[in-house]
Amino acid sequence: MEILYLLCSIFCALLTSLLLSILLPFLTLLRRLRHWLRHSSPAIALCPPVSLYQGTVWHQRRLPVHHSFRYNVRYALIDLDRSPHSPPDHLSADEARQITDTTGSVLLLTIPPSVGYEQNPLSLYYCYDVEGSSRRLKKCIAEVTNTPWGERVSFIFNPESDLVAKALHVSPFMDMLGSWNIRASDPGDNLTVAISVHHPELGCYFTASLKAKKLGPGEEPDHSVFFWLMPHKVAVWIYWHALKLWWKNVRFVQHPRYTVPTYREEALIRDQKLQCCGTMGFNDANKNIPRRGTEQGNSADISYSNRWFKWRDAKWPWS
C-alpha cells in the first residue's frame, strides 16, 4: 500500500509540475509586470530581500561500503524580518528568536518550492545577537526532513561546532544510533555547512557538506526560473542513490516506529548524555537519566539545557 501511494504521489507531482512548467513563462511575465508597478509607485513596498546561492552538495559513506556523490544545488537566503510573510511551513523570525533566545536578525537558508513541489532535506535558520552596532551569529536552528515520509525534526545547535543526537530516521540505510556533528559558517559571499555522523560501532562513517557562493546583484535572475525543478533534482538524487545503496547490499533499516516506538525519547536521552559527557555517552546506554515526556503526535516541543527539539509527524499513509 505504501509503495503504491509513493508511486501515485510521484506521478501526481510530475503531472502538476509539468502543467505549472508550461505556465511558467506567463507567470514570469506577470511577476515582472507586478515588479515594474511596485517600483513605479512609491506607495507600494519593495520586494523582500532574498540572496541567491549556488553551490555543491557532497555526500560520502565509508562503511559498510564506500559510496560518494555530489550534485549542484541552489538555495535562497531569506531575511525573515524584512519579509512580509514567513515562507510556508517554516518558522517566523519572532518564533526563531524566542526558541534561540537571541535579539538580532534571523536568516533562513532553504530551497523554495518550484512548480508545485517541495523537497528540502535541510533548512537552516541563522539567528544573530545584537552587540552594539554590530551583530554576531549566536545560534542556528536545523530543520531536517526525511524522504519519502516527510517527517521533520528541528533542533538548536552551535554553528561553530556541535554534537547532536540523531533524532530522525533520515535514511532507510542508516540506523538511529550515533550523533550528528554539525558546523555552519556565517553566510556572506560564501557559505559552508558540514555534517558528519558519529556512530558507536562504525565511527565517523558518513560526511556531507554544502559549499555555496552568493550571486552578485547583477547576476540574480528571476527566482522562479532560477529554482525551476531544483526540488525535483534533489529528489531524483535521493532516490537514485538509495537504489545504488540497495544494489550494493547495504542493510535496509526499517523505520524505528515499528521496532522502537520510543526512539524520540531515546534520542533525547542520548543527547543529554552528549551534553554532559560528550562522545563518552555513546556506550553508556544503561545510565539512568531522567526522561522528559515526549509527544508522538504532531509538533512535540522538548527543551532542556539550552537544547530544543521539535518533531513533525508524517502524513498519511506514512503515519
DSSP string, 48-65: PPEEEEEEEEEEEE-SSS
135-140, Cβ contacts within 8 angstroms, sequence gap of 24 or more? 135/104, 135/105, 136/104, 137/186, 138/100, 138/102, 138/104, 139/100, 139/101, 139/102, 140/184
- What residue type is assigned to position 160 of the chain? E
Prior bond to 64 cis, omega within 30?
yes
Overall domain count for the chain = 1
According to the model, what pLDDT value does residue 260 have?
Answer: 92
Report the C-alpha dihedral over residues 226, 192, 122, 173, rounded to 10 degrees.
Answer: 120
Is residue 298 one of the residues assigned to a domain? yes
According to the model, what pLDDT value does residue 225 have?
Answer: 87
Cα–Cα distances in angstroms (integers) from residue 111 to residues 23, 50, 54, 316, in the given order: 21, 12, 11, 24
Is residue 126 one of the residues assigned to a domain? yes
Is residue 103 one of the residues assigned to a domain? yes
According to the model, what pLDDT value does residue 293 have?
Answer: 38
According to the model, what pLDDT value does residue 24 have?
Answer: 66
Residue pair 166/267 in contact (Cβ under 8 Å)? The answer is yes
Question: Average pLDDT of each block of 10 consecutive residues along the chain (319 residues)?
Answer: 66 75 67 57 50 96 95 96 84 95 96 90 96 90 94 96 96 94 97 96 95 84 87 93 94 92 93 76 43 46 81 79
Cα–Cα distances in angstroms (integers) from residue 177 to residues 36, 54, 95, 238, in the given order: 53, 33, 30, 21
| CA 256 – CA 267 distance, rounded (Å) | 12
Is residue 94 one of the residues assigned to a domain? yes
pLDDT in tens, 46-70: 444 899 999 999 999 999 999 999 9
Quote the pTM value: 0.85
According to the model, what pLDDT value does residue 248 have?
Answer: 95
Is residue 65 one of the residues assigned to a domain? yes
Report the C-alpha dihedral over residues 6, 123, 159, 301, rounded to 10 degrees.
Answer: -70
| CA 57 – CA 61 distance, rounded (Å) | 14
Prior bond to 148 cis, omega within 30?
yes
Residues of the domain holding 69: 50-312
| CA 130 – CA 278 distance, rounded (Å) | 30
Is residue 22 one of the residues assigned to a domain? no
According to the model, what pLDDT value does residue 305 have?
Answer: 66
Cα–Cα distances in angstroms (integers) from residue 10 to residues 5, 188, 223, 268, in the given order: 9, 36, 24, 34
Is residue 275 one of the residues assigned to a domain? yes
- What residue type is assigned to position 195 of the chain? I
Is residue 26 one of the residues assigned to a domain? no
| CA 197 – CA 203 distance, rounded (Å) | 8
Nearest residue to 302 via CA among 271, 256, 258: 271
According to the model, what pLDDT value does residue 47 have?
Answer: 45
According to the model, what pLDDT value does residue 26 have?
Answer: 63
According to the model, what pLDDT value does residue 92 have?
Answer: 94
